[in-house]
A and B are shown apart, each in its own frame.
Chain A
Amino acid sequence: MGLVIIFAVSGIAVNHKDDWNPNYRVEQVVTSISAQNWSLDNDTELANQVLAISKIDEKVKTSYWASPTQFKLFFKNGNNLLLNLKDQQLIYEKIAPRHVFQAFNRLHLNETKASWVIFSDAFAALLIFLALSGLFMIKGRHSPWGIKSLWVISGIALPAVYIFM
């Protein structure tokens, strides 16, 4: 049951990765600031100025000039703060990992060790066995060979339709 849930939940998450980031929650807060006498020749002083104005109390990992008008601070917790001199804006980006989804996706996409690949191959083989054995295990009026074969056929036909669409 656990494996089915992992593959199903991660499958939905990965299917919608263009609309939604399954691994991280990323929030941006844009703040307009007034013109300042920025210490453009001293990155440490500039960083302190930016921190004071933004009122953000986080430990700085490093700073970086992305362009002559964009100064960025990276924080130890993974967040970052961009000073845009041209537009007089501060853009604070908060990055929070989605730990459970990350773990599920990591397993689903086989980003772990080779032993997991063997384990998930075995699970896939068991699913194939489950699907095929179901054709022969049930007898009588619930057998998939009578009217219920329509379910079996539709299960094959639906993916085929999407392949040839």
Chain B
Amino acid sequence: MNFYKLLILIIATIGLSTAKAEQFGEPVDNASLLKISTIMAAPDTFLDQQVTIEGTVVGVCAKRGCWMTIASDKRFENLQIKVNDGDMVFPMTAKGSKAMATGKLNKIQLNLSRTKALLAHRAQQAGNEFDENTVTKPMAIYQLVPTGVEILE
């Protein structure tokens, strides 16, 4: 095998290995599994404990793979899992797959202008009308910061 064939083989092997990503970080803890709807019903009560969620991956950060959106068991509800760039890189092809993630819930308190911007963006994504004058109070958003993620087929 000459040098160029070997180089192509190495690149192809690395490429194929990146295309099939399943386990990220530490193993998922099945014992702490909770429904996303349970967590989102009272998120502040889960801030200091380790939780595991599961659901369908419905969105993935396209450029850095640094977040995934997991659909809740409740319609039109979801929870985002977020890592620092490079800590875990979630593949876009995970969309539609089942995923489990173990970690801690992080609360991000928004000010009023950021709340309006976020709700406007969500309304645009959902194809709904939005009047920012109807928003009078700032809101908080919640993300799961995972220590381990498993993407299941």
Please give the residue numbers on chain A whose beta carbons come within 8 Å of chain B beta carbons, in ascending order.
2, 17-18, 21-24, 26, 61-62, 64-70, 72, 74-78, 80, 84, 86-87, 95, 97, 99-100, 102-103, 106-107, 109-111
State which of A22, A23, A75, A100 has its C-beta within 8 Å of the C-beta of B11: A100
Q: Are B127 and A97 in contact (CB under 8 A)?
A: no
16 contacts between A and B (CB under 8 A): A2-B7, A24-B62, A61-B96, A62-B56, A64-B58, A64-B71, A69-B126, A69-B127, A70-B127, A74-B95, A74-B96, A95-B93, A97-B18, A99-B16, A102-B15, A111-B89
**Closest residue of chain A to B19, judged by CB?**
A97
* Bound CA span A154–B18, Å: 40
Asked if B76 and A68 make an inter-chain contact with CB atoms under 8 angstroms apart, the answer reads yes
A61 adjacent to B62 (CB under 8 Å): no
How far does the Cβ of B70 sit from chain A's closest Cβ, in whole Å?
A: 11
A109 with B86: in contact, given A17-B64, A99-B15 (CB under 8 Å)? Answer: yes
CB pair A80–B128 under 8 Å, yes or no, is: no
Q: Which residues of B contact A (CB under 8 A)?
A: 7, 11-12, 14-16, 18-19, 56, 58, 62-65, 71, 75-76, 85-86, 89, 91-93, 95-97, 125-128
Query: A103, B128: Cβ atoms under 8 Å?
Result: no
B18 A103 Cβ-Cβ under 8 A: yes
B7, B12, B18, B75 pick with most chain A CB within 10 angstroms? B18
B97 vs chain A, min Cβ distance (A) = 7
* Inter-subunit contact A100/B92 (CB<8 Å): no
Q: How far is the CA of A84 from the CA of B127 in the complex (A)?
A: 8
Complex CA gap A26/B59 in Å reads 14
Selected from A67, A87, A95, A99, the residue in CB contact (under 8 A) with B18 is: A99
Q: Report B-chain residues with C-beta under 8 Å of the C-beta of A100.
A: 11, 15
CB distance from B69 to the nearest CB of A (A): 10
* 6 pairs of A and B residues whose beta carbons are closest in the complex: A74-B96, A99-B15, A78-B93, A67-B126, A103-B14, A61-B96
CA of A97 to CA of B89, assembled, Å:
13
Closest to A87 in B: B127
Chain B nearest CB from A35 CB (Å) reads 16
